[in-house]
Chains A and B, each alone.
Chain A
Amino acid sequence: MTHHVTTTPMKVLIKNAQDLDWALNFHPRRPWPKPLPIVVGRNDLVVAGFDRPRDQVAVSILQIDEEPMALLNQLYDTNELAPLERLRFMKLSGAPIELNLEPWSLEFQNYLDNRNLGLRVLQPLDHLIDWKESLENTLMKLRLSASQCREAIDILADLKFLGRDRTSWQDLNTENPESWIRSLRQLRFPKTANQDQQRQQKLDSLPWPRGVQAKWDRQGDQGVLVLQSRIGGPDELKKALSRLQDMSLDKEMWEKQ
């Protein structure tokens, strides 16, 4: 029986960082561990350690005599990369990618990747390039959650197709993400928002029993009445229920104005 033992020649060297080829930098999100040398493949192409300073005259490198792309594939498992990071990685090999990353700053890409948003959710970005600056600034300033981010991108793309311009949403109150998303929804769904508002006004005008709060809430394709009350015991519950029963929540209340 014969054994084939393949050993890849590798050396640790000191080199001038400027003599290395940094062309394969796909901007991985995680920095290469500090104690480890920069890794280069054939022709001194850097495959790990892209975050290191490039003006140093003497850096420690691990030179491996292998195709740089093969090395990159060994170092980075695409299944473990975040969605946009993976696209950047795939771009290196010239593979067609589903989203135009070019316009978006690395900081913004990482912001989205930190929320682990799937590519499907991010596809509307292709239609939002004209709004790049305000969009990046607003979204990053607001520190939206993943689901808020998803909704915002979708709504903004819809606003674009509705022919609204940037000013329509740029000046919305950005004090907190919740109220910003609420205002965005009002812009996107003005008719329904208006009707929901009218229903809330109607609710506000009704004589609810003390301690009962009535709210008109949009839950998907339906508006519903949400009643909230603090009940301290069975007697209070009885009272509250009977007072609610006495209220004439007539048909008119549910119908559109």
Chain B
Amino acid sequence: MTQFEELFVHPKSLNSEITKRVIEHTGLTPMITDRRPYSSLEGRLTGEEFSKSKKRLYLLPHEGHFFRKCPGTTGAACCNYFVLNLGVHCNMNCSYCYLQGYINSPVTQIYTNIDDAFAELTEMIRENPTAEFRVGTGETIDSLSLDHLTLYSIELISFFAKHRHLICEFKTKTDQVDHFIKTPHSGNVIVSWSVNPQKIVSEEEHGTATLDNRLSAARRCADHGFPVAFHIDPMIYFDEWRIHYEDLVDQICSRFKPNEVKWISVGALRYPPTMKHILRQRLTESKRVLTSELFLGTDGKLRYDHDLRNEMFKSVVKRFSDHSSEYPLLLCMETGASWQTTFEQTPRQIQGVKELFDPIVTTRPAL
């Protein structure tokens, strides 16, 4: 994982517990500023600047709304979901990371005012008392990779313990769970892992936990009563993809019974064409993500050929069903046509998956 080399703190965040912990943990002397550091670089970062931005940390309060409706993808059968961004950027380094085409901040940011997020969510609950909000924290930052600094997981678990009808999802590629697994919870915080065969972890997911460590961490969570979920996403095509993905499925199934897994989502590599430039600039040894045969999909993202995607999804689905037909599978960011080809049903026709796609009544507009 990337080590921070520079620390900036907003004056309003100076007295926060997080700031104290970060200083203690990193040993860095903070520079106090209410202006975004390196703001002259804002806009489109070069590959080099993007890499550097992972080493600069800025602690600040978040202004405005914390919660956003999951934007999904045009034409995709996307699940209904709110994202809670408690920071922006990641200290790991996956070759395909979509943040490369999305982040234009020259610094990693952690928001120090989670209390405001809780206040906002409380208001949302007050306005829609029966709505079963599902909230994910891993969209613009890994839910747990900086959690040793923020300890937000513990606060979130405690908040959601009081609101049993809501669901919170931590999404991670780390194995950092031991600091929160003993926190009393109501079983409504799902800890999910993005997983890939170890070959892909080693070659494409730099600085992340090994597959074995991720699955062991998931096991520890399940043993402490946390529901767990897996995202086999993005599936990446390579010559022996089938054997490796089947082996991945076997590993999951050997450690988790179907009823221990909340869902398993499956998706394939995709990114906007505009990300190619930064991919070319940041290329490490593996060129797979850049040089795969990808074509423009109807949602404007580069994807594998439709048939290849379906072949990959089908092989994973089949392997799971060889173990048990009870594993709750869903396709992420895929079109209705892909659902139809892979499952012969659309998401709303599949038991166990249907409810993930049911709309939530809310007064908050989708952003």
Question: Footprint of B on A, CB under 8 Å?
Answer: 120, 123-124, 127, 154, 157-158, 161-162, 188-192, 195, 218, 220-223, 255-256
Contact = CB atoms under 8 A, between A and B. Distances in A.
A192 to B, nearest CB: 5
A28 B305 CA distance: 44
B295 A220 contact: yes
Contact of A222 (B274, B291, B306): B306
Nearest to A189: B293
B277 A220 contact: no
A161 B297 contact: no
A120 B278 CA distance: 11
A191 B291 CA distance: 12
Given A124-B280, A191-B293, A221 B287 contact: no
B276 A221 contact: no
Contacts of A255: 307
Contact of A123 (B277, B295, B296, B297): B277
Contact of B287 (A154, A162, A189): A162
A154 B279 CA distance: 13
A209 to B, nearest CB: 27
A221 B305 contact: yes
A221 B297 contact: yes
B274 A161 contact: no
A158 B292 CA distance: 9
B290 interface: yes
Given A158-B291, A220-B297, A220-B298, A192 B305 contact: yes
B306 A154 contact: no
Given A218-B295, A221-B303, 15 more contacts: A123-B277, A124-B276, A161-B280, A161-B290, A162-B291, A189-B293, A191-B293, A195-B305, A220-B296, A221-B294, A221-B305, A221-B306, A222-B295, A223-B307, A256-B307
B28 interface: no
B299 to A, nearest CB: 10
Interface in B281-323: 283, 287, 290-291, 293-298, 303-309, 311
Given A222-B306, A223-B305, A223-B307, A154 B295 contact: no
Contact of A120 (B274, B296, B307): B274
Nearest to B302: A221
Contacts of A154: 273, 276
- What does DSSP make chain A's interface, helix, strand, loop or mixed? helix
Contacts of A189: 293, 295
Contact of A221 (B280, B291, B296): B296
> Which are the 8 A-B pairs with shortest beta-carbon distances?
A221-B295, A222-B306, A221-B297, A220-B296, A189-B293, A221-B303, A123-B277, A162-B291
Nearest to B303: A221
Contacts of B290: 158, 161
B203 to A, nearest CB: 16
A190 B287 CA distance: 17
Given A220-B296, A221-B295, A221-B297, A127 B305 contact: no
Interface centre among A157, A161, A162, A221 (most CB of B within 10 A): A221
Contacts of B294: 221
A124 B290 CA distance: 13
A158 B290 CA distance: 8
A161 B295 contact: no
A71 B122 CA distance: 60
A154 B297 CA distance: 17
A221 B307 CA distance: 9
B283 A161 contact: yes
Nearest to B277: A123
Nearest to B298: A220
Nearest to A158: B291
A154 B273 CA distance: 10
22 contacts: A120-B277, A124-B276, A124-B280, A158-B291, A161-B283, A161-B287, A162-B287, A195-B305, A195-B307, A218-B295, A220-B295, A220-B298, A221-B294, A221-B295, A221-B296, A221-B297, A221-B305, A221-B309, A222-B295, A222-B305, A255-B307, A256-B307
